[in-house]
Amino acid sequence: MALEATADRLASAAELGLSERLRVRIKTRRQRRQKIIFLLFRLAAVINGAALLSVLLFLLAKGWRAISWTFLTQPPYEAMTKGGILPCIVGTVALGLGAILVALPIGVISAVYLHEYAREGRAVRLIRLGINNLAGVPSVVFGLFGLAFFVVWLRLGVSILSGALTLAALSLPVIIASAEEAFRSVPDTYREASYGLGATKAQTVFRVVLPTALPGILTGAILGLSRAAGETAPIMFTAAVFFRPDLPHSLLDPVMALPYHIFVLATAGTNIELTRPLQYGTALVLIVLVLGLNLVAILYRSRLRRQR
């Protein structure tokens, strides 16, 4: 390391005294090295894109044949080797929306407190530490928590409610982070103008800051929804069941769900090879749902940023 630095210093000192031609040659060598290294970096980025596109194209190529009106509107039958995935779609939508309905108000109010009210200090540091660590809890641990707390202790059973609450806990950090970002992007002049007109803090928050930040908050809600919809481990013990052809009647019913259905068909189905097309189809529907939501959020956000 030190050697390298010394060598470099010598090199640049020597460079100063070199003839013009030699200096040009050294310079081009440095630039050639840069070119090669940048090519590697470009390659790294290309690998990301290639991974995403190959996943998408593969599932499209394999899955589109399975998609039909029957597939989207019928329950599975004949030991899940035929039929559709309607109960899974309904289950996933119910779980995702339920999670967002719980997590969004809590997340937004947390962000209001952190960004608009709290002064940086030990309490805020502690709350942030809590949020960061919650974001890092493995999804299967959320599942264990949901099982022990919602399913068993609160006696909610394996149900939409238990699953939605578990997913709400999981998506809370995502929502808080994006709501805070939305509040950060509201210019302070707005707040000052509001105070200048004699508004109180609460009035400023509710009438000025929240409405201005609303689009950003919605983006976060969509991202949270997509995250919740794609998760499997947290709902395995709390909400999802192997097979249940009729649609849920209440929040206390267990449901089928898209991610869990893929897992079940691919690993424990009655006939794994025979149901392959159904697996591809289900994966395609899940991907379209999750990535579609993400794409909406990403495009919306980039439009918001450009407006500013």
**Please, which of residues 62-101 interact with other proteins by CB under 8 A?**
none
Closest to other proteins by CB, 69 or 94: 94
Angle, helices 210-230/258-267, rounded to nearest 10 degrees: 20
Least distance in angstroms from the C-beta of 43 to other proteins: 8
# binding residues, other proteins (CB under 8 A) = 85
Identity of the amino acid at 250: S
Closest to other proteins by CB, 69 or 259: 259
Interatomic CA distance for residues 169 and 172, integer angstroms: 5
3-class secondary structure, 149: helix
Stretch that binds other proteins, among 44-52, 71-79, 179-187, 212-220 (CB under 8 A): 44-52
Spell out, one character per residue from 99 to 138, where the chain touches other proteins: x when CB under 8 A holds, - when not: -------x--xx-xxx--xx----x--xx-xxxxxxxxxx
Spell out, one character per residue from 152 to 171, where the chain touches other proteins: x when CB under 8 A holds, - when not: xx---------------x--
Which of 1, 2, 13, 45 lies at the binding interface for other proteins (CB under 8 A)?
45
The pair phi, psi for residue 125, each rounded to 5°, is -60, -40
Is residue 287 a contact residue for other proteins (CB under 8 A)?
A: yes
Site for other proteins in 211-270 (CB under 8 A): 226-227, 229-233, 236-237, 259-260, 262-263, 266-267
Least distance in angstroms from the C-beta of 295 to other proteins: 7
Least distance in angstroms from the C-beta of 303 to other proteins: 12
Site for other proteins in 14-33 (CB under 8 A): 30-31, 33
Encode 249-285: b = buried (16+ Cβ within 10 Å), e = exposed: eeeebbbbbbbbbbbbbbeebeeeeebeebbbbbbbb
Least distance in angstroms from the C-beta of 38 to other proteins: 6
Interatomic CA distance for residues 108 and 112, integer angstroms: 6
Interatomic CA distance for residues 249 and 256, integer angstroms: 13
Two tokens at 153?
């202790």
Contacts of residue 269, Cβ cutoff 8 Å, sequence gap at least 6: 80, 81, 275
Which of 14, 37, 193, 197 lies at the binding interface for other proteins (CB under 8 A)?
37
Interatomic CA distance for residues 256 and 214, integer angstroms: 33
Which of 10, 22, 24, 52 lies at the binding interface for other proteins (CB under 8 A)?
52
